[in-house]
A and B are shown apart, each in its own frame.
Chain A
Amino acid sequence: MSRVVVPQGAVEIALKQTGKFVKPQVEPILAKEFKKIKNSMLAEFNSHPITRELEQKTNADPSQFVGRGSLFGFIGFDKNDDPTETVREMLKTSDLRFIRIKKEIVDFKVFYPSTEELFQATPLPWASGRSWLKGIESGMSGLGRYLNTETETSRSGGGIQSEDTVRSGGFKNTKYISEILNNFIKKINKLSIL
């Protein structure tokens, strides 16, 4: 058999065109895998004890995170507040996007909210420059419980009237959104179509 010699120029042309042929094959597989990872992140968020307690509002009493009353009341949320929904909606915006084809490389990027963006979107009800989401991880005071009180009934239903002696009950800070995002990133880094 005679040897076939492919000119280097032809190889380069073929390589340059690889991407646009590969992309339609790869994209749906990647999208499917990404969707699984994203759903897994949302499931982790939904099932996290912090999320569950906050969604039960003042009914989550006793709480496993605060010494007395509910976490919802401790932070000082209004009974109409739905704090976890803001976070969930931001997590849902996570997306896999096709960026470009450069020669044989098909470039995709994963977009997701950073912890900083999440913290900025989750202000404490009584101090808008502070984030309750960050406070969950780094610790927060029980000021909300005392400030979030009306004359007879608490706005959240979980606060109490402040008296001479202040006893807020401690708050046990815990890994929350940063852990969920880290797990998401780890899975994304391992994402493979093979």
Chain B
Amino acid sequence: MKPQFQHTLVTSFFLWFDNHLQKRGDAYKNKTGIFYNMTDDRLDDTYNVYSSPYKQFIFDSGLNTSVVDSQGTAGPTVVDRISGQREDGSAFEITRGTSGLKIDYENGRVFFTGDNAGNLPGNNLSLSGGFGVKDFNLYVTNQTEEDLVIENKFKTNDRFGNLETSGVAPYDQVLPAAFLTSESIRNEPVAFGGLDVTQTNVKVVVMTTDLYCLDCVLSLAADARHRSFAEIDFEDFPTTEFGGIKTGTYPTGYSYNQIEADNTSEMFHIEDVNVSKLSDRIKKKVNPNVFVGFIDFEIHKYRSPRTQ
């Protein structure tokens, strides 16, 4: 089946919310660190996997501006190269695409396939690099709130300075994170000619170990009421199945700012936002170290569903 309205909405919302947190909340940390050799059963033997202790990496190069922000930087580092030493001690630095280097921004890791001459791949390389890590990972999920909050089997990304000595396992969902799901969709007629307003409820569960950060996300979300965001096609989601940037679609790198500037005609409108925190009197019944918040977005889009 070809992608439908729902896919476009979720894609557009995901990318907007990710950008909203990072751009308006400086919700990232720039890190420099070691990449540890890992195994991944989902990849075949031609890939040598090296993982950082953090996920998810920032992949929006448009966030890096010449303006110094509250973190004292010009924005998050979008990793596009890796440096290190071969087994013989010689140093190297390679960029994305060279020697089959792929950067998996979603899982905070890199992997090589190596070139035809057999250069670079191996499991005994010492790799390091600089990268920007999201303060809040973002996941699209179909898990219910009770699944997320009660079962709560997530790992925590320590972004505040503890020494990490291993990579983070691939595909695990890691806190702090925001889990979003599109819960219901409804078309209401608004004008002659078949024009409807499509009302979609997007719910976000925010889970973090830090109350300050939870308040930041809830506040940023509440301030988004009556904002609009650009429509982005499902196919234009910036990352591949390997978590890397789609270089065909974004040859000079992915920039939400650029997409926003290029898509001014087709927009989604945030009609209403409601934020709430899990009540303290019952929070003790879930993991006491995790703070939970809920954001309910009501998103409107004027469209003609029967003629499209």
In this complex, the interface size class of chain A, counting residues with CB under 8 Å from chain B, is 20 to 34
Q: Name the A residues within 8 Å of B277 (CB-CB).
A: 127-129
Question: For the complex, is B294 an interface residue (Cβ under 8 Å from A)?
Answer: yes
Question: For the complex, is B15 an interface residue (Cβ under 8 Å from A)?
Answer: no
CB 8 Å contact bits of B160-184 with A (1 = contact, 0 = none): 0000000000000000000000011
Given contacts A147-B285, A147-B286, contact A127 B147 (CB under 8 A): no
Of the candidates B146, B274, B279, B285, the one whose C-beta lies within 8 Å of that of A168 is: B146
Q: Name the A residues within 8 Å of B275 (CB-CB).
A: 129
Question: For the complex, is A26 an interface residue (Cβ under 8 Å from B)?
Answer: no
Question: For the complex, is B276 an interface residue (Cβ under 8 Å from A)?
Answer: yes
Given contacts A127-B277, A127-B294, contact A143 B146 (CB under 8 A): yes
Given contacts A141-B144, A141-B145, A142-B144, contact A127 B150 (CB under 8 A): no
Taking A139-B183, A165-B151, A168-B144 as given, write out 14 further A-B residue pairs in contact, using a Cβ cutoff of 8 Å, ordered by the A residue number. A126-B278, A126-B282, A127-B279, A127-B294, A128-B277, A129-B274, A129-B276, A138-B201, A141-B146, A143-B149, A143-B150, A149-B285, A164-B151, A168-B146
Residues of B within 8 A of A (CB): 144-147, 149-151, 183-184, 201, 274-279, 282, 285-286, 294, 296
Beta-carbon contact of B144 and A147 below 8 Å? no
- A132-152 contacts to B, CB under 8 A, are 138-139, 141-143, 145-149
Q: How far is the CA of A141 from the CA of B142 in the complex (A)?
A: 12
Grouping DSSP codes into helix (H, G, I), strand (E, B) and loop, the B interface class, with mixed when no group exceeds half, is mixed
Q: How far is the CA of A102 from the CA of B276 in the complex (A)?
A: 46
Q: How far is the CA of A128 from the CA of B282 in the complex (A)?
A: 12
Q: How far is the CA of A125 from the CA of B276 in the complex (A)?
A: 12
Question: For the complex, is A162 an interface residue (Cβ under 8 Å from B)?
Answer: yes
Q: Name the B residues within 8 Å of A124 (CB-CB).
A: 276
Question: For the complex, is A23 an interface residue (Cβ under 8 Å from B)?
Answer: no
Question: For the complex, is A130 an interface residue (Cβ under 8 Å from B)?
Answer: yes
